[in-house]
Amino acid sequence: MSYLLHIDSSSIGTASVSHQVARSFRDTWTGEVVHRDLAASPVPHLSAAGVSARFTDPAQHTPEQATAAAVQDELIEEFLGASAYLFTVPMYNYTMPSVFKAWLDQIMVQGRTLDFTNGPATTGRPALLISARGGGYGPGTPNHGKDHLVPALETVLGDPHTLGLDVTTLTPELTMATVVPDLAHLLPLHEASLAESHEQARARAQKIGRQVTV
């Protein structure tokens, strides 16, 4: 088998609930893991040189284009080399951390990870997206309809016209109940959500592990 690519975008490392749930997945996973921590080593945001390098003969690259192309090449080859994916993407201000968006912009390239004619090379590869959030965003909650992270990433990662991954999403909720006194009454709901997320992460690691070794 190939490897699990873990893209981690939490700013607070091991203190992150998203990271902790991902740890349950990782502790159950028995194969090789390539871990890229975007908070510790952020990738550059896509630049004009990076865009133009995609449409320019490499022999004609300027120094700026060559540098930008090298970054994209490394990230794309790492992405394409994986057989399964783990994305740790906590919700920040209703959406994804900017470091994760920067990573996406670097790897999404027509003719490499994207193929609008035949579909992407990663079609059907399994992926788990873990996105902890401070509040609740389900039906009936005050924040319902304000989650601009999961819908966007399920489209970018999973749509057959983009990366085509087989994405499962876990959303441990109400993390702010542990630190905001006015939300303390929600702590049992948070604890239940967290426990379920850990359980599902372990189960998903087992299932994906079986899939990629068949």
Which structural domain range is residue 196 located in?
A: 3-213
Q: What is the DSSP letter of 33?
A: E
Number of alpha carbons in the 13 Å side-chain half-sphere of residue 186: 19
What is the per-residue pLDDT across 193-208, written as a single tens digit (0 to 9) for each?
A: 999 999 999 999 999 9
- Cβ within 8 Å of residue 69, ≥6 positions away: 50, 53, 54, 58, 61
Residue 78's φ and ψ, nearest 5 degrees, are -65, -40
Whether the predicted pLDDT of 214 surpasses 90: no
Number of domains, the chain: 1
What is the per-residue pLDDT across 80-89, written as a single tens digit (0 to 9) for each?
A: 999 999 999 9
| Nearest partner of 130 among 79, 191, 87, 194, judged by Cα | 87
What is the per-residue pLDDT across 112-149, written as a single tens digit (0 to 9) for each?
A: 999 999 999 999 999 999 999 999 999 999 999 999 99
| Domain CATH for 9 | 3.40.50.360
* Cβ–Cβ under 8 Å, residues 49 and 62: yes
Residue 17: how many other CB atoms lie within 10 Å: 25
pLDDT, the chain, mean: 96
* Cβ–Cβ under 8 Å, residues 103 and 153: no
Which pLDDT band, with edges at 50, 70 and 90, does 1 fall under?
Answer: low
pLDDT at 2: 87
Strand order of the β-sheet with 126-130 is 33-37, 3-8, 82-88, 126-130, 166-170
